[in-house]
Structure 1
C-alpha cells in the first residue's frame, strides 16, 4: 500500500472521527440527561433524530457546493458550524434547547460525511477506493469502541455537559488538521458551476440510476438498524440489564467489534470476489443474525451475552456491506461525485431518522422492540439485493 494512501486515510479518518464522537460519546449519559431535564426516553431520543435529520438535509448543500468551490472551503465551514452546535449543546438549559443545538451540530457534521467520500473519489476508484474507505472506517471505528467509555468517565468526573466541551476542543483540532494537512483535491477544470437546473438534472439522473438507488438503500436500511441500536441501546442495556455507564460503554464496544473487523475484510474481499457477491453475502449474514436475535428475545428472557453476540454477528454482516456500497454508488458518477455522495447520504440519513421516529413509540426500554426493528431493517436490506440487479 502506497504512502499516499496511508496519509489520505489518516487525514480523512481523523477528520471523519469528530462527527461519530458527537453521537457515541454521550450515549452513556442519556439516562442522566433525561433525569437532569426531567423528561423521558423519547425526548432524549429526539436529540439523535434531530442530529440525523439535519445531517441529511445539509448534505444536499455541501455536495453541490463542493463540486463548485472545491472540497476544502466547505469542509472548514462545516467544522465551524459543528463547533457552534457543540458549544451550544454544552450550554443547553432544557431538552428542547439540546435538540435545537444538536440540529445545528448535524448541519455542520454533514460536511464530514459528504466531503471525505468525494475526496476519495477524486483520488481513487475501484479496489483502491474500497481499501481507502475501509482504512478510514478503521480510524472511525475508534469512536464506538472508545467514545462511550470516554463519555462514561467524563460523566462520572465532570457531568454530561463536559462531553460537549471535549467535542468542541476536538473540533478545533480538526479545523487545524484541515487547514494544514488537507490539500484541495478537485481540479479547477473538474468543477461544476452551481446551477439549480443542473442540480435538478443531476438529482433526476441519480433517481433514474437503478444501481445508485440499489447501493444507496441497501446501505440505508443497514444504517437505520444501527441508528435504532444507538437510540435505544443505553436504555435497554442500562434499564433491562442494569449496566452502569462504564459497563454499558464496554458492551457497546463489543457490539462494534464485528462491524469494525468486517469493514476491514471488505477491502480484501473486493480484490478477490465480485462486489455484488460481497454485498449479498454481507446482507445475508446481517439478516440471518438479526432474525435470530428477534427469535431468541421473543422466545425467552435472553441473557445479555447472547444479545451482544448476535448483535456482533449482525453488524459484522453490515460491516461487509457498508464500505462496498459507498464505493459502488459513486463508481459511475465521478463528474458529480459531490452531488452523488450528498444525495445518497441524504437518502440514508432520512431513512435512518424516519425509522427512529416511526418506531419510537414502541420502544419501552426492553430488548424486544429494538430487536424487532433491527431485524426488519436487515431483512429489507437483504431483499433489496435480490430484487435489484446489482452490478458485478
Structure 2
C-alpha cells in the first residue's frame, strides 16, 4: 500500500460526499416541498432530474479542464458554484426557480464526481485502484446512512430550506479541505494544453472502445436503478406505506448499507477471480434479484419487508459492480484519465436522468413502477455484460 493511501481515501471520500449529500439529505423534504410550493409530484421529481442532467453534462468540461489546469483549480470552481447555488435554493419561492437552481447546483457538484476518479487513476491502477475506490466509497457511505436522518431532523425544526443551508456549509468545508489537505496529482509537465481536436479525438477513442463503453453503461444502469429509487422512494415509503420521515431514512440507509458493505470485498474478489469475472457474476445477481422483485410485486405480493429485502439484495450485488466497473473502464486510458472519467460520469448521470424522467411518467405512487423500472435496468446490464466483457482479463497493474 502506497504512503498516504488512507489520507487520500478520506479526503476524496469526503469531497465525493458533497453531491450525494445534497441528494440524500434532500429526499425527506420532497413531499414538504411539493406542499410548500404547490407543485405536483412530477415537478418535484424534475428538481432531481435537472440536478442529474447538469451533474452529468458538466463532467465533460471538468475532465478536460483537470487535464489542462491540474486537478485542484476545477475543484475550487465547482465547490464555490455549488455553495452559491445551494444558498439560492434555500431562497427559492417557486418550483421553477428551484429546478433552475438545482441545475446550477449540479454543475458545481460535477467537479467532485469526475475529478476524484481521475486523481485515483493518477496514483493507482488495477486492484490497487479498486481498493482505493472502494475505500472512498466506504467514506461516501456516511451520506445515504446519515444524510436522510440529518435531513429529517433539520426539516422538522427549521423547514426544507435548511437542507440547502447545511449543504452550502459542507461545500465551504470541502473548499478548505481541498486547499489545505489535498495534494495536486496532475503536475505541470503532464498537463495537456486545450486543443479541441485533441479532446474530440479522445472522445472518439473512448466511444469506439467496446470494453470502456460496456463497463461505463453497465455501471450507468446500476446507478440508474439508484436514481429510480431515489426519485420515487420518499413518495412510495411515506405516502403508500405510511412511514414517517425518520422511518423512511432508516429504510433508505438499510439499502445503502448493503451496497457499501459488499463494495469493500470488490478488490479482494477481483484479485482472486479477476475483475471482469466479478462484474459478470454480480450483474447476473442484480438482474436475478430485480426480476424476482418485479415478478412478486406484479403477482400481488404487496409487502414492504419483501420490497426492502429484494432492493437490498440487488444493491448488494451493485456494490461489487459499480466500483469495479469504474476502475476497469479507466485502466487502459491513463493519459486521458480525466477525460475518460468525465465522459463515463456524464453518460452515467444522463442515463440516470433519463431513467428519472421515464419513471416519473408511469409512477402512480405504488411499488410496481419502481420494481419494473429497476428490472429493466438489471436485464439491460446483464445483456451488456454478456456481449461486451469477453476480452481477456485486464491486467491488475499497468505501467
* Common topology (TM > 0.5): yes
Give the structure 1 partner of residue 372 of structure 2: 372
Give the structure 2 partner of residue 338 of structure 1: 338
For 1:103-128, what per-residue CA distance to the aligned partner results, in whole angstroms no more than 9, with x for missing partners?
00100000000100000000111111
* 8 Å CA contact 1:18, 1:170 repeated in 2: yes
For 1:331-358, what per-residue CA distance to the aligned partner results, in whole angstroms no more than 9, with x for missing partners?
0000000000001111111111011112
Query: Aligned partners of 1:205 and 1:8: how far apart in 2?
Result: 30
For 1:185-235, what per-residue CA distance to the aligned partner results, in whole angstroms no more than 9, with x for missing partners?
012221111111111111011111111101100101111111000000001
* 8 Å CA contact 1:60, 1:346 repeated in 2: yes
Give the structure 2 partner of residue 36 of structure 1: 36
Find runs of 4+ consecutive structure 1 residues off by over 3 angstroms.
none
**What secondary structure, in the 3-state scheme, does the structure 1 residue paired with 2:264 have?**
helix
Deviation at 1:389, TM superposition (A): 3.1
**What secondary structure, in the 3-state scheme, does the structure 1 residue paired with 2:265 have?**
helix
**What secondary structure, in the 3-state scheme, does the structure 2 residue paired with 1:302 have?**
coil
* 8 Å CA contact 1:84, 1:104 repeated in 2: no
Matched, 1:55 2:51: no
Deviation at 1:301, TM superposition (A): 3.9
Give the structure 1 partner of residue 396 of structure 2: none
Give the structure 2 partner of residue 296 of structure 1: 296
* 8 Å CA contact 2:269, 2:278 repeated in 1: yes
Alignment of 1:96-175 (within 5 A): 96-175=96-175
Query: Aligned partners of 1:67 and 1:45: how far apart in 2?
Result: 34
The alignment of Structure 1 onto Structure 2 pairs a total of residues equal to 392
Give the structure 1 partner of residue 179 of structure 2: 179
For 1:31-83, what per-residue CA distance to the aligned partner results, in whole angstroms no more than 9, with x for missing partners?
01101011111011000000000011110110001001100100111100111
Query: Aligned partners of 2:112 and 2:26: how far apart in 1?
Result: 19
Give the structure 2 partner of residue 384 of structure 1: 384
Give the structure 1 partner of residue 397 of structure 2: none
* 8 Å CA contact 1:118, 1:341 repeated in 2: yes
**What secondary structure, in the 3-state scheme, does the structure 2 residue paired with 1:118 have?**
helix
Query: Aligned partners of 2:258 and 2:220: how far apart in 1?
Result: 19
Matched, 1:362 2:350: no
Deviation at 1:2, TM superposition (A): 4.8
Give the structure 1 partner of residue 87 of structure 2: 87
Superposition CA RMSD, Å: 0.9
Deviation at 1:268, TM superposition (A): 1.5
Deviation at 1:27, TM superposition (A): 0.3
Give the structure 2 partner of residue 253 of structure 1: 253
Give the structure 2 partner of residue 215 of structure 1: 215
**What secondary structure, in the 3-state scheme, does the structure 1 residue paired with 2:315 have?**
helix
* C-alpha spacing 1:255/1:180, structure 2 compared with 1 (3 Å): same
Query: Aligned partners of 1:390 and 1:89: how far apart in 2?
Result: 46
Query: Aligned partners of 1:166 and 1:27: how far apart in 2?
Result: 14
Deviation at 1:3, TM superposition (A): 4.6
For 1:81-110, what per-residue CA distance to the aligned partner results, in whole angstroms no more than 9, with x for missing partners?
111111111110011111111000100000
Deviation at 1:390, TM superposition (A): 4.2
**What secondary structure, in the 3-state scheme, does the structure 2 residue paired with 1:360 have?**
helix
**What secondary structure, in the 3-state scheme, does the structure 2 residue paired with 1:134 have?**
helix
Query: Aligned partners of 1:339 and 1:167: how far apart in 2?
Result: 27
Query: Aligned partners of 2:172 and 2:289: how far apart in 1?
Result: 40
Matched, 1:242 2:248: no
Give the structure 1 partner of residue 188 of structure 2: 188
Give the structure 1 partner of residue 273 of structure 2: 273
Give the structure 1 partner of residue 46 of structure 2: 46
Give the structure 2 partner of residue 10 of structure 1: 10
* C-alpha spacing 1:63/1:34, structure 2 compared with 1 (3 Å): same
* 8 Å CA contact 1:120, 1:132 repeated in 2: yes
Give the structure 2 partner of residue 229 of structure 1: 229
* 8 Å CA contact 1:236, 1:365 repeated in 2: yes
Quick check: 381-390 or 139-148, which moved more? 381-390
